[in-house]
């Protein structure tokens, strides 16, 4: 079983859907909406998965990917973003995200991602 899940996004509509799926799966999930919250979660450990919205403006998710990947117990990193922003999706792959997907796939698989 994956440890704690972090959801990094400024979008409260995405969060509502993710939170409902996590609740249905009886999983602990926290929304990260700023650099301070991300730093605190990183220091606290116990994170098994980070799901990051590439459209987030409050957290530099690409910079954080390198930090998470070098953590002693690196979590699985999942990024999602607009299908028309191919450059952002490519940058996420280069940054080390384990899975990179368009928003449409994220919405289809959100229940699996938080299970």
pTM attached to this predicted model = 0.93
**Residue 81 tokens, joined:** 């973003």
**In a structure prediction context, what are the per-residue pLDDT tens digits for the chain, which is 115 residues long?**
478 999 999 999 889 999 999 999 999 999 998 999 999 999 988 999 999 999 999 999 999 999 999 888 899 999 999 999 999 999 999 999 999 999 999 999 999 999 8
The confidence score (pLDDT) of residue 96 equals: 95
Find all residues with CB under 8 Å of 80, minimum gap 6, and list them.
51, 52, 53, 54, 100, 101, 102, 103, 105, 106
In contact, 15 and 37? CB cutoff 8 Å: no
Q: Range of 60's domain? A: 4-113
CA dihedral (57, 59, 65, 68) in degrees, to 10, reads -160
Number of domains in the chain: 1
DSSP 8-state secondary structure symbol assigned to residue 10: S
CATH of the domain at 13: 3.40.50.2300
């Amino acid at each position: 079983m994956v440890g704690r899940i972090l959801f990094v996004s400024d979008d409260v509509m995405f969060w509502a859907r993710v939170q409902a799926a996590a609740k249905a799966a009886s999983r602990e999930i926290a929304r990260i909406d700023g650099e301070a919250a991300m730093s605190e979660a990183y220091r606290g450990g116990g994170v098994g998965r980070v799901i990051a919205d590439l459209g987030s403006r409050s957290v530099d998710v690409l910079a954080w990917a390198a930090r998470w990947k070098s953590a002693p117990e690196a979590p699985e990193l999942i990024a999602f973003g607009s299908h028309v922003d191919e450059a952002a999706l490519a940058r996420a792959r280069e940054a080390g995200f384990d899975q990179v997907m368009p928003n449409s796939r994220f919405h289809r698989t959100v229940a699996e991602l938080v299970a």
